[in-house]
Amino acid sequence: MGYHMADMPMDTAMTVGMALIVVGLVVTAYGLVPVGAHREEVADLRVRALDDAPINRVHVLLLLVVAAAITIDVMKPTTLAFVVPGVAKEYDLRTAANPGGGLPAALLPLAGITGTVLGSFLWGWLGDRIGRKAAILLAGVFFVATSICGAMPSFELNLVMCLIMGMSAGGMLPIAFTLLAETIPARHRGWMMVLIGGDIAGAYAITSWLSATIGDTYGWRVMWLIGFPTGLLTILLTRWIPESPRFLLALGRRREAEQVLRVYNASITPVEKSELAVESGFTGGYRRLIQAPFGGITAVLVLVGLGVGLVVYGFQLWLPSNLRQLGFSGVSADQILRDSALIGFPLNFLVAYCYHRSSKWTMVVLSALLAISLFGFVAVGDGVADNKVLLYALLIPPIWGASSVVAVLVAYGAEAYPTRIRSRGTGLAAGMSKAGGIIVIALVVLAVATPSISMTALISAVPMTIAAAAGIAFLVETRRRSLEEITAEELRGVA
């Protein structure tokens, strides 16, 4: 068969199996809802003990799990680029090389990226509703269930499963960062989150290696079946992931919080009034993110997310084609992009250090630097091909810097909001970083001509510029401060 399943009939067993998978996902999600999760009283324990605790093996294990989660998260949308050619060939889809095909092949990445955006919001809500650990566990279950995308006979069913798969992958990133922010001591929190979030090169390397080895042998479908073992690995790792103590304390679940605090070697000290009492007036809901005092911060995160999403899925997506149009061969264009990424990679450590020194100004400066680089392409236009040194200099920020901006964006979102809406805030930041992809890929689906390098740069630069300016006015400093201190300062601003 050559691993081709297009137009194969679905028998009764396969139909029943798919129905059982859907029912199983719903039942699993319901089973993860904790009893008494919405009690409003705050447990009377000292929260600062988490920030005073020394780094131990539990923190290290959590960091490794978060790194694995981010790798899995990045692998999902990355895989789309490697499977689209095989999908288009098997289903005779419309592409630039096959203009007479049926449905546009770009519908597949559109479904996947749309899923990641929806998943960021849905898992953001779930993280605040059922807990950080439970939400990660549910994402792992979804990875396993949606790996059946590799066995879907019809293209339409592939789109549905790709959408659901994207939802689970998109939800993993904000939950992982939220859990990390609430458990890592404040003095180490910022740089650790940014360093882990910026290290996404491994996901690209793993995906390309898998595509070149097993993908070349077994076809594009095996790339989706990889979700089965990675999902099982995620489920296994949650065995050693403690729930966020702050989440438990905020909901008054004292006994569970005490057990977790012992795991982190944090002192269990009863207090008359917990530091989390400053958040006692907050209830759940995404509307809280746009209300005072968080409206300005949310606006900045939305603009940064939208801008970096346009860079990744707009400027970067069409960059290989644009470089070829400027006279570079396929080999030299790919070499230029690879070299730019490698040259910029060590700067991830610099960004982590800068975030450790000042989270606010790292966000502002990175956004401004990205905007300046993009405006450089607008000013020089096609003439950038005549100066290779200038081309490399302008390419490094959008090629390398985009991943660092995403890391800083999600890390800041995990620090800037109160415990009861922190997962939602992080989900909003992560979701907006992919929302630009929906806009860009939708243009491809509608058969809009590929924009020039100047046009894609301009579209991306405008929101980044506005975000940099707004960040100066609205962002607060989170450097080495407890999450409760950050919230208290924000509330004083509207008092």
Domain assignment of residue 289, yes or no: yes
| pLDDT for res 241 | 85
Q: Which residue has the tokens 């650790």?
A: 192
| pLDDT for res 397 | 81
Alpha carbons 13 and 19: distance in angstroms, whole number:
10
| pLDDT for res 337 | 56
| pLDDT for res 214 | 84
| pLDDT for res 106 | 83
pLDDT of 281 over the 60 cut = yes
Report, as an integer, the average pLDDT of 42-49: 74
pLDDT over 70 percentage in the chain: 88
Q: Peptide bond before 9: cis, by omega within 30 degrees of 0?
A: no
Of the two residues 287 and 1, the one the predictor is more confident about is: 287
pLDDT of 174 over the 90 cut = no
pLDDT of 156 over the 80 cut = yes
Residues in contact with 488: Cβ distance below 8 Å, sequence separation at least 6, in sequence order:
278
C-alpha dihedral (348, 352, 353, 355), degrees to nearest 10: 130
Q: What is the pLDDT of residues 26-40, one digit of tens each?
A: 999 999 987 754 555
| Residue 378 belongs to domain spanning | 43-493
Report, as an integer, the average pLDDT of 108-130: 91
Highest-confidence segment of 71-80, 140-149, 357-366, 430-439 = 357-366
The answer to whether 402 and 367 have CB atoms below 8 angstroms apart is: no
The answer to whether 396 and 340 have CB atoms below 8 angstroms apart is: yes
Report, as an integer, the average pLDDT of 280-292: 80
Alpha carbons 218 and 361: distance in angstroms, whole number:
48
| pLDDT for res 383 | 82
For 54, phi then psi, to 5°, come to -75, 155
Report, as an integer, the average pLDDT of 141-148: 91
- Opening angle at CA 436, ends 432 and 438, nearest 5: 105
CA 278 to chain centre: 29
Q: What is the pLDDT of residues 305-327, one digit of tens each?
A: 999 988 877 777 666 666 767 77
Mean pLDDT of the chain: 84
Domain harbouring 190, CATH code = 1.20.1250.20
- Opening angle at CA 293, ends 280 and 197, nearest 5: 90
pLDDT of 149 over the 80 cut = yes
Domain assignment of residue 487, yes or no: yes
pLDDT of 452 over the 80 cut = no
pLDDT of 201 over the 60 cut = no
Number of domains comprising the chain: 1
Domain assignment of residue 35, yes or no: no
Of the two residues 451 and 431, the one the predictor is more confident about is: 431
Residues in contact with 134: Cβ distance below 8 Å, sequence separation at least 6, in sequence order:
32, 34, 126, 243
Of the two residues 200 and 229, the one the predictor is more confident about is: 229
For the whole prediction, is pTM greater than 0.75?
yes
Of the two residues 70 and 219, the one the predictor is more confident about is: 219
In this predicted structure, which of 6-10, 321-325, 462-466 has the lowest mean pLDDT? Answer: 321-325
For 105, phi then psi, to 5°, come to -65, -25
pLDDT of 395 over the 90 cut = no
Of the two residues 213 and 43, the one the predictor is more confident about is: 213
Of the two residues 114 and 198, the one the predictor is more confident about is: 114
The region, left, alpha or beta by phi > 0 then psi within -120 to 50, assigned to residue 142 is alpha
Q: What is the pLDDT of residues 363-383, one digit of tens each?
A: 999 999 999 999 998 998 878
| pLDDT for res 476 | 94
pLDDT of 127 over the 90 cut = yes
Report, as an integer, the average pLDDT of 14-27: 92
In this predicted structure, which of 76-85, 207-216, 441-450, 474-483 has the lowest mean pLDDT? Answer: 441-450
Domain assignment of residue 236, yes or no: yes
Domain assignment of residue 429, yes or no: yes
Radius of gyration, CA atoms only, the chain: 23
